[in-house]
Amino acid sequence: MTVKTIQVAQNALDANREIAVQNRAALDSAGVVAVNLMASPGAGKTSLIERTVAELKGQIRIGMINSDTSPAAMDAERAERAGAVAVHLNTTGRCHLDAGMIRDTIACLPLREIDLLFVENIGNLVCPAAWQLGTHLSVLIASTPEGDDKPYKYPRMYSGADALVINKIDLLPYVTFNLDYFRRGVEALNRGLRTFPLSCRSGEGLDRWLDWIAFLAARETAVLQ
């Protein structure tokens, strides 16, 4: 008789990956570019979406899946007021999104009316990194008051990102944040990572980010794979 080993975690990740592949196909078929937006709580995910939607209104049609661990839907409402097609996803306490949640949510979205979809993950610098959603790109937001040591402490999030936003640069005079030390930590994990230092509050540095988002939305999704 052979002892059977049950690999719950690995099986869950394998099942998740299969659904992520289906999500990608659904997004591609509708011509939607999807961005998985990850960060600590309060780093500025919603603020960045809100500013991006408002600035690119009339130019590209933006959708937003806003996730929270609670029924509080104020972030989705903010994005909607700015002009996005927004939906709130309550994970009821769960610490990250998975592909199944995204499958169920995109089924409720008018994908044909969306060029670019922001998937705002749960505010968490650990768990979201392990779960593919089927999005085309992962963008990580750091923020200056969090401190310059985060790449060293949460390496998996930094190594898996396709682009990095450094938000709240307007606070640099008031916080301890050594940009060189931070960048060295990032470079060691993810060489040449595309980086956007900016402030959602003051608007400084937003132009480059907006140009890149508009560029992404105009691409054929096949090019992004």
- Distance CA(33)–CA(62), nearest Å, equals 10
Give me the sign of the Cα torsion angle 218, 37, 199, 184. negative
Q: Does 132 bind its own copies (CB under 8 A)?
A: no
**Which residue, 151, 104, 97, 147, is CA-closest to 119?**
97
Identified binder of its own copies from the candidate list 126, 179, 188, 218, rule CB under 8 A: 126
Contact between 203 and its own copies by CB under 8 A: the answer reads no
95 in contact with its own copies (CB under 8 A): yes
Locate 32 and state its tokens: 């939607």
Whether the CB-CB separation of 137 and 27 falls below 8 Å is answered with no
Nearest to 200 by CA among 78, 66, 69: 78
In the chain, what are the helix, strand and coil shares in percent, each to the nearest 5? Answer: 45, 20, 35
Cα separation of 218 and 164, whole Å?
Answer: 20
156 or 221: whose CB is closer to its own copies?
156
170 binds its own copies (CB under 8 A): yes
Q: Establish if 69 lies at the interface with its own copies (CB under 8 A).
A: yes
Site size for its own copies, by CB under 8 A? 36
Select the span of 23-31, 113-121, 147-155, 207-215 touching its own copies (CB under 8 A). Answer: 147-155
Which of residues 100 and 221 has its CB atom nearest to its own copies in the complex? 100
Which span sits near its own copies by CB under 8 A: 13-21, 52-60, 101-109, 145-153?
145-153
187, 201, 206, 212: which one binds its own copies (CB under 8 A): 201
Give the pair of three-digit tokens for residue 137: 């790109």
Q: How far apart are CA 122 and CA 95, in angstroms?
A: 6
Residue at token pair 């200056």: 144
Return the residue of 145, 193, 205, 212 that touches its own copies, per CB under 8 A: 145
CA–CA distance, 118 with 120 (Å, rounded to integer): 6
Verify binding: residue 174, its own copies, rule CB under 8 A: yes
**Binding-site member from 137, 152, 183, 210 for its own copies (CB under 8 A):** 152
- Quick check: 176 binds its own copies (CB under 8 A)? yes
* Contact residue for its own copies among 36, 124, 132, 190 (CB under 8 A): 124
Closest CA to 103 of 18, 172, 164: 18
Residue 63 vs 185, nearer CB to its own copies: 185
Interface residue list for its own copies (CB under 8 A)? 8, 40-42, 68-70, 72, 74, 93-95, 122-127, 143, 145-147, 149-150, 152-156, 168, 170-171, 174-176, 201
